[in-house]
Each structure stands twice: as structure tokens, then as C-alpha cells.
Amino acid sequence: MAAQARSPIGVFDSGIGGLTVVRTLMERLPFEDIIYFGDTARVPYGVKSRDTIRAFTRQITEFLLARDVKLLIVACNTMAAVAIDEVRALSTVPVLDVIDAGARAAVEITRKGVGVIGTPTTINSNAYARSIHALNPAVHVYSQACPLFVPLVEEGWLDNEVARLTAREYLKPVLEEQIDTLVLGCTHYPLLKPLLQEVVGPGIQLVDSAITVAEQTAAALDRLGLHNPQRVAPHYQYYVTDVPLRFQTIGSRFLGRELTHLEQVRW
Amino acid sequence: MAAQARSPIGVFDSGIGGLTVVRTLMERLPFEDIIYFGDTARVPYGVKSRDTIRAFTRQITEFLLARDVKLLIVACNTMAAVAIDEVRALSTVPVLDVIDAGARAAVEITRKGVGVIGTPTTINSNAYARSIHALNPAVHVYSQACPLFVPLVEEGWLDNEVARLTAREYLKPVLEEQIDTLVLGCTHYPLLKPLLQEVVGPGIQLVDSAITVAEQTAAALDRLGLHNPQRVAPHYQYYVTDVPLRFQTIGSRFLGRELTHLEQVRW
């Protein structure tokens, strides 16, 4: 199918983290319709094998393409890390992803070295280092898996002593390296930004890929002439594979507004 | 099919936590074969909806019954809390579960009141309080969800300052009540036992349902005449739906020995 300006943007994640990307898209591109897909029945992907993640990613990509999206955003670092080639191979529309967006922003900012934090699967995939080195082989990259950050964010412990000690523990080896830029390599981490900035200090700039991917999306729509010409209130639709306890509460915290138009897909 | 003494015991969980039950079964019943099923591709269940958990539970029960187990142990508090009736309705062999085992032990021990800690779904289901009150309506029960304990255990942070502060935070409201017994309502929690005993102090007895369900299993085999008469090294088989990063390492920590005979089931 041909990409159409009035079609929605498709955004997907393994769960609710990608709603931080939807939030920045709403702010940056206030006239675009958005369809979000969160695989809440099978979340988290960050602890699953590559084969399983690739199979799940194909299924979601096909679901969104069948809904005539004009652009696909992989708003999940784990899927972007291990399955971006699957998405690109299947997709008939342009594909953007949070890893490419974060890597580009980091390379533009850094003068010394880049730290990357994320889930174990993202970090072990080495996808950020590969993306950064493809852009500039001279940049030093130091990576650290932070498996407790996602559950801390979902518990809403964003600024207490447990969150602070956990951040200090995870960031200690990263801060011993010469870095001036820290990439938040997981869509949950923007909610920890104030705490992380406090722990790393003012000398290190945080890269929030929710913001950078929204900028890339705006640039892609410019280039392709695909901005929605309508100036009416946009339509937002959220598909999830499960509606767990407290989903509306947590989702609204990620989205920065009330989460409505939620529909459960049963696979 | 009729239950046979030489058949294996079937144990299942949403992931690897149930291996703490397998471990105590191996110690208590060293001549029994065991088949374990861990739904590692879809773990954790504790944050999913009741309907999803019930559907997944039926699928696993059918898988183990097809392998001619002589007894089924639901080694997952979340499944026991919301889907035990599904298991009992499907099963042609006796069914034991960690909630019933924990509730019976707590009622025997307590003289003042019982605290119960677990995942949000287990606690919200109120299954422990219902089971305890069915045995003795006079026992006071105080419950507390501890969503960060599972990721802490899986990270291996069993005795550091983050784990200690988290335990103090979660247990503060429980300790303000008059309790003398604390039920570890999640199969991950036995690994936190030393820390939890330190936080609650010597006046409170911990109930580890891995131990109590192994005792119930021994009693059931006595009663039904289903002890394996063979005195050879037993066979252990582990089925999982995914083999994530560090699975062998984490699994061996739960099991207290090396995890071998692992087979992946693709659903």
C-alpha cells in the first residue's frame, strides 16, 4: 500500500514504555493520528531470547501494516536491538527506531565518550555501540545493563532512596569512564531523568531517545511530504494484548495524559 | 489415565521461581522423577489479567497431563491464586498448590496474626486470606504486594542495601500489625529469606511454601500409595517456553544445583 499523508503513525513497544515516545510525538506533531501497539501479555522482552523477540516483532509489524500506517516507529530498544532488520524487510513504509535516533543524537553531542544504559538484552546485543560506531568509529562507548530500572519505574519509585542507591550502583562503573553523554537506552528511563541527572552530575548530558525519535519523525514527514494536512483534533488508538492491573494508572503516567481508546487484541 | 507410582511429579510455574519447589522436592523425595514446566516466554504472570493467566494455566496443565504425571504441583502463587479451579477441573491426578500449602502452615503456626507478601496479582486476588479464613476464620491476615522483590532476586541482589531498604519499605505497614507469622507468597522469595528474617526480627516466623508443599506432596504419596518404588537416580526434565540470557545461571541459583535436561517448547 502507498503511504498516505492522512494515515496514522504506527508506534510499537513490548509494553507501555513506548508511550513516552507517543507523548513526545503528540507534543512535536500535534495533528498526527497515532496507533500504538503494546504487547502487554508478553512483556518484558528484555529478558527473552533473540528468536522469540524476532517472532513477536514480526507479528506486531504485520498488525500495524494491516492498519495502513504511513510510518512505523520501533519504540522498544530491545526490538530495535535484535529485530530491526525483520521490521525493515517486512515494511512497505519508512521505519524509524529509538536506537538509531539515540545513536545519532549521542554522536552529535559527545566530545569525549558515550555511556549507554538499557535492559540486559539491549546491552548484550551491542546495538548502540554498533550504531554509534557506524556513524563515527572514533567515539568510545561504555555500556551498562540496569535490569532493576524498569520495575522501579513501574512501581513509581522515581525519586526515593532505593531508586537513588540503585542508580548509583549501576552508574558507578560508567562514571569511572570518560563520558560526557549518557544515552537512556530504554523507553522507561525518561521517567527517571531528574534522578539520573542528579546522580551523573551536570557535566554529563542525557540523551532521551523519545525526544530524538520524535525529531526524526518530523524530519521524515517533511522530506516525504507526509504531514497530515488536517488541522483537527487527532485520533489516538491504543492496542494492547493484555490489560493488567493498574494499567490505566501506569500508562497515564508514561503518557502524561489520560489513556483512552484502549482496545485489547487477543492472540 | 490412571496415576502410576513410577510416573513423574509435574511441577509448573510462570518462570523459574518454581525451581525453589523442585529443589525442596528433590531433598524431601530423592527417588521421585520430576517434570518441570516454566513459561519463560510469557513470564511474569503477576502483572497480567486474570483471563490471560487462566488461559495460560490451562495450556500448561494439558501439556503436563499429556506427559502422564502422577501428581500436579502448581508452584506459582499467581496461577494458584487465580486459576486453581481450572487446574482441578482439567486434572485427572491429584493437584497441590503453594497457596493452600502456605495457608495450612500459617494457620498451624500463628497465635496472633499472619502477614502475607507476594506479587500484586496474588495479593489483589486475596487468595491467601480466603484460604486461611476457610481453615480458621478467626486468624487476622495482613497483605502487602512487593513487586520489586522478583526483579531483585533475579538480579541476584539478595543482601545489599537496595534489597534491605526495599524490604523495610514494603514490610513497614505489615510490621505495624500484630503478626507472628509471615508467609512468603511468591516462589522467588525463599532466596530473600535471610534478609527478610533480619528485617522482621526473631519474633516472626517465616513460612516458605516451597518447604510446606514438599511436605504435603510426601503425605499425598503416602496416602495414595504412589511413592516411586525404584531406588535409582531419578530423572529430572525441565521444559521452558524460552531460554533467555543468563537462564542457566539464574536457574541454577534457584535450584541449588546445575540445571541440565533443559528443553524449549515453542508455542
All cell numbers assigned to B2? 490412571
All cell numbers assigned to B254? 534457584
pLDDT beyond 60 at A1: no
Verify that B200 and B216 share a domain, yes or no: no
Could you tell me the residue range of the domain that residue A127 belongs to?
A: 99-209
Q: pLDDT tens digit string along A67-89? A: 999 999 999 998 999 999 999 99
A166 vs B162: CB contact, 8 Å cut-off?
A: yes
Q: pLDDT tens digit string along B170-194? A: 999 999 999 999 999 999 999 999 9
Of B167, B192, B209, at which residue does a domain stop?
B209
Query: Does residue A1 lie in a domain region?
Result: no
Could you tell me if B181 and B109 are in contact, meaning their C-beta atoms sit under 8 angstroms apart? yes
Verify that A113 and A51 share a domain, yes or no: no
CATH number at residue B142: 3.40.50.1860
Looking at residue A2, what is its pLDDT? 46
Verify that A103 and A205 share a domain, yes or no: yes
Q: Which of B218, B214, B225 is nearest to B6 (CA)?
A: B225
Verify that A114 and A199 share a domain, yes or no: yes
Q: In what order do the strands lie in the sheet with A71-74?
A: A95-97, A71-74, A9-13, A34-38, A236-240, A262-264
Of B194, B209, B224, at which residue does a domain stop?
B209
Verify that B108 and B199 share a domain, yes or no: yes
Verify that B142 and B198 share a domain, yes or no: yes
Q: Which of B54, B123, B124, B162 to mutate to test the interface with A (most CBs of A within 10 A)?
A: B162
A245 vs B157: CB contact, 8 Å cut-off?
A: no
H-helix or E-strand spanning residue A58: helix A50-65
Residue linked to cell 497465635: B111
> Residue B224 and residue B96: Cα distance in Å, rounded?
14
Closest residue of A to B163, CA-based?
A162
Q: Which of B175, B172, B110, B116 is nearest to B145 (CA)?
A: B116
Q: Tell me, yes or no, if B76 is annotated catalytic.
A: yes
Task: Please tell me the least confidently modeled range out of A137-151, A211-225, A238-252, B10-24.
Answer: A238-252
Query: Does residue B1 lie in a domain region?
Result: no
Band of residue B3 on the pLDDT scale cut at 50, 70, 90: low
Count of domains forming chain B:
2
Interface of B with A in 205-264 (CB under 8 A): 242-246
Q: pLDDT tens digit string along B14-54? A: 999 999 999 999 999 999 999 999 999 888 887 788 898 99
Residue A240's DSSP bridge partners are A38, A264
Q: Say which of A43, A47, A166 has its CB closest to residue B244.
A: A47
Query: Does residue A2 lie in a domain region?
Result: no
Instruction: State yes or no: cis peptide before A44, omega within 30 of 0.
Output: yes
φ and ψ of B15, to 5 deg:
-155, -120
DSSP state of A42: T
Query: Does residue B2 lie in a domain region?
Result: no
Q: Buried b / exposed e across A189-208, counting CB within 10 Å, b at 16+?
A: bbbbeebbeebbeeebbbbb
φ and ψ of A183, to 5 deg:
-85, 125
Q: pLDDT tens digit string along B113-127? A: 999 999 888 898 899
Bridge pairing between strands B262-264 and B114-118: unpaired
Verify that B61 and B191 share a domain, yes or no: no
Of A185, A209, A233, at which residue does a domain stop?
A209
Ramachandran bin of A93, using left for φ above 0, alpha for ψ from -120 to 50, beta for the remaining angles: beta
Verify that A105 and A203 share a domain, yes or no: yes
Q: Is A78 on the interface with B (CB under 8 A)?
A: no
Query: Does residue A3 lie in a domain region?
Result: no
Write the CB contacts of A199 (distance below 8 Å, at least 6 apart in sequence): A164, A167, A168, A171
Average pLDDT over residues B197-214: 96
Query: Does residue B3 lie in a domain region?
Result: no
Q: Tell me, yes or no, if B146 is annotated catalytic.
A: no
Query: Does residue B104 lie in a domain region?
Result: yes
Verify that B111 and B74 share a domain, yes or no: no
Verify that A201 and A221 share a domain, yes or no: no
Verify that A205 and A117 share a domain, yes or no: yes
Query: Does residue B4 lie in a domain region?
Result: no
Verify that B154 and B58 share a domain, yes or no: no
Write the CB contacts of B224 (distance below 8 Å, at least 6 apart in sequence): B3, B94
pTM summary value = 0.88
